[in-house]
Amino acid sequence: MAFRSRSGPHAANRMHCRDRERSGVSGKLARRRRADQEGLRPVPHPGAGDRGPAAAGRSLAPPRQGRHAAPQNGGMAHIELRSDNTAGVAPEILAAIVAANTGTAIAYGGDAWTARLQETVRTVFEHPGARVFPVTSGTAANALALSAMCPPWGAVLCHETAHILNSEAAATSMMGGGLLLRGVAGDDHRMQPATLAEAFAATRWGDNHHSQPRVLSFTQPTDMGTIYRVDELGALTSAARGQGLRVHLDGARIANAIVALGCRPADMTWRAGIDVVSLGATKNGALSAEAIVSFDDAVSDELVYRTKRAGHVTSKMRFQSAQLDAYLTDDLWLRLAARSNARMRQLGDGLRALGVGFLNRPDVNMLFVQVDDTVATALERAGLLFYRIRPGVIRLVTGWQTTEDDIDRALAAFAHALR
Ligand X SMILES: Cc1ncc(COP(=O)(O)O)c(C=O)c1O
Please choose, from the candidates 84, 137, 125, 134, the residue with its C-alpha nearest in 3D space to the C-alpha of residue 322.
134
363 near ligand X (CB under 6 A): no
84 near ligand X (CB under 6 A): no
314 near ligand X (CB under 6 A): no
241, exposed or middle or buried, with CB in 10 Å at 0-12, 13-18, 19+?
middle
Supply φ then ψ for residue 145, to 5 degrees: -60, -50
Site for ligand X in 170-229 (CB under 6 A): 219, 223
Among 6-14, 44-52, 137-145, 331-339, the segment contacting ligand X (CB under 6 A): 137-145
CA 237, 256, 85: angle at the middle one, nearest 5?
115
The Cα-based distances of 23 to 9, 20, 136 in angstroms read: 37, 9, 20
CA 409 to chain centroid: 25
Smallest separation, CB 219 to ligand X (Å): 5
In the bound state with ligand X, the residue whose beta carbon lies nearer, of 57 and 280, is: 280
Q: Are the C-beta atoms of 306 and 175 separated by less than 8 Å?
A: yes
139 near ligand X (CB under 6 A): yes
Sheet holding 290-294, edge to edge: 131-135, 290-294, 276-279, 246-251, 212-219, 154-159, 180-184
Smallest separation, CB 126 to ligand X (Å): 24
In the bound state, the residue with its beta carbon closest to ligand X is 138
- Paired with 292 in beta bridges are 133, 278
CA distance 117 to 58: 42
Among 56-64, 94-102, 136-144, 336-344, the segment contacting ligand X (CB under 6 A): 136-144
CA 162, 391, 76: angle at the middle one, nearest 5?
100
CB atoms within 10 A of CB 200: 17
The single residue among 38, 188, 325, 406 that binds ligand X, judged by CB under 6 A, is 38
Among 10-18, 109-117, 138-146, 368-376, the segment contacting ligand X (CB under 6 A): 138-146
Site for ligand X in 270-299 (CB under 6 A): 282
In the bound state with ligand X, the residue whose beta carbon lies nearer, of 87 and 411, is: 87
Among 10-18, 44-52, 108-116, 133-141, the segment contacting ligand X (CB under 6 A): 133-141
In the bound state with ligand X, the residue whose beta carbon lies nearer, of 212 and 282, is: 282
Sheet holding 366-370, edge to edge: 357-358, 366-370, 393-397, 387-390
Question: Tell me, what amino acid is at 168?
Answer: E
Smallest separation, CB 227 to ligand X (Å): 12
The single residue among 73, 114, 120, 137 that binds ligand X, judged by CB under 6 A, is 137
CA 166 to chain centroid: 12
37 near ligand X (CB under 6 A): yes
Question: How many residues of this chain bind ligand X (CB under 6 A)?
Answer: 12
In the bound state with ligand X, the residue whose beta carbon lies nearer, of 37 and 377, is: 37
Please choose, from the candidates 151, 87, 6, 174, the residue with its C-alpha nearest in 3D space to the C-alpha of residue 398.
87
The single residue among 163, 189, 248, 409 that binds ligand X, judged by CB under 6 A, is 163
In the bound state with ligand X, the residue whose beta carbon lies nearer, of 111 and 223, is: 223
252 near ligand X (CB under 6 A): yes
In the bound state with ligand X, the residue whose beta carbon lies nearer, of 240 and 277, is: 277
Question: Tell me, what amino acid is at 179?
Answer: L
Among 132-140, 207-215, 230-238, 373-381, the segment contacting ligand X (CB under 6 A): 132-140
The beta strands (E) that lie in 269-386 are given as 276-279, 290-294, 357-358, 366-370, 384-385
Smallest separation, CB 212 to ligand X (Å): 25
CA distance 378 to 124: 45
Among 16-24, 56-64, 131-139, 411-419, the segment contacting ligand X (CB under 6 A): 131-139
80 near ligand X (CB under 6 A): no
In the bound state with ligand X, the residue whose beta carbon lies nearer, of 339 and 395, is: 395
In the bound state with ligand X, the residue whose beta carbon lies nearer, of 73 and 172, is: 172
In the bound state with ligand X, the residue whose beta carbon lies nearer, of 219 and 321, is: 219
CA 129, 132, 135: angle at the middle one, nearest 5?
165
Among 134-142, 207-215, 322-330, 345-353, the segment contacting ligand X (CB under 6 A): 134-142
In the bound state with ligand X, the residue whose beta carbon lies nearer, of 38 and 296, is: 38
CB atoms within 10 A of CB 178: 12
- Interaction site with ligand X (CB under 6 A): 37-38, 137-139, 142, 163, 219, 223, 250, 252, 282
